[in-house]
Amino acid sequence: MVVDDAHRAAERVARESYGRLIAMLAARTRDVAGAEDALGDAFAAALRTWPADGVPDNPDAWLLTAARRRQTDDIRKRQVRVASEEHVKLMIREIEAMSDGRDAIPDRRLALMFACAHPAIDPGIRTPLILQTVLGLTAEDIAATFLLPPATMGQRLARAKTRIRDAGIPFRVPDAEDLSGRLAAVLDAIYAAYTTSWNDASDDGISELADEAIWLGELVVSLLPISPRRRACWR
């Protein structure tokens, strides 16, 4: 029963918080693939630890702290430059400041979405990249949507993540003049997540992924430079 509780808790966090955790982990390093690896290790540690110690009061914060520690260890092993040491210090301060409240974890998914839609990223991979990193879809699911072999999609996603890291693409919502150039990929990803999520609809008629897509869509609409009356018509 304890093992089942631990697995259910881990599955719930994976469904509900994957994109939020990846966005938080990648925001400082700009290394999406490294953030995914760190979070994967954190989930593996949780499945080893939680059955014995019990599920923590805030599984999201536990996983984020474990993944942050993996990131700081990786940076220390790879580099000794001053800039890298500053990243480590900042991450350590984040770990120390982590509280038990869910709201203590900033939600940086919107910034990650616009980083994935940056002009330096190939236009054809921007929407799939958002679907995977922010909304948690697998490369296999995305490949099926875009009618590509899973291996091809996986390679393209990996190259795009490397591009974000190597180009130093910032994780921020762009200024108004740059917003329109990235908006199409962001909205396409939200729409694709919403329309494909109905296969997993719950008893109340809407899936968690669809609910997440609606929330992100409303957040994006709130950024648009349109009148309150027109914005109300979008809802």
Same domain, residue pair 28 and 82: yes
Domain count, the chain: 2
Residues in the chain with pLDDT < 70?
1-2, 77-106, 197-207, 224-235
Domain extent at residue 83 = 1-106
Among 57, 80, 106, residue at a domain's last position: 106
| Residue 62 neighbours by CB under 8 Å, 6+ apart | 42, 46, 56
Q: What is the pLDDT of residues 153-179, one digit of tens each?
A: 999 999 999 999 888 888 888 777 777
Same domain, residue pair 116 and 73: no
| Residue 55 neighbours by CB under 8 Å, 6+ apart | 5, 6, 9
Work out the number of other CB atoms within 10 angstroms of the CB of residue 31.
Answer: 20
Give the global pTM: 0.72
At residue 93, the pLDDT reads: 53
At residue 156, the pLDDT reads: 95
At residue 87, the pLDDT reads: 52
Contact 123, 81 (CB under 8 A): no
Same domain, residue pair 142 and 202: yes
At residue 155, the pLDDT reads: 95
User: At residue 51, what is the residue type?
Assistant: P
Q: What is the pLDDT of residues 108-129, one digit of tens each?
A: 888 888 899 999 999 899 999 9
Among 89, 106, 123, residue at a domain's last position: 106
Same domain, residue pair 146 and 83: no
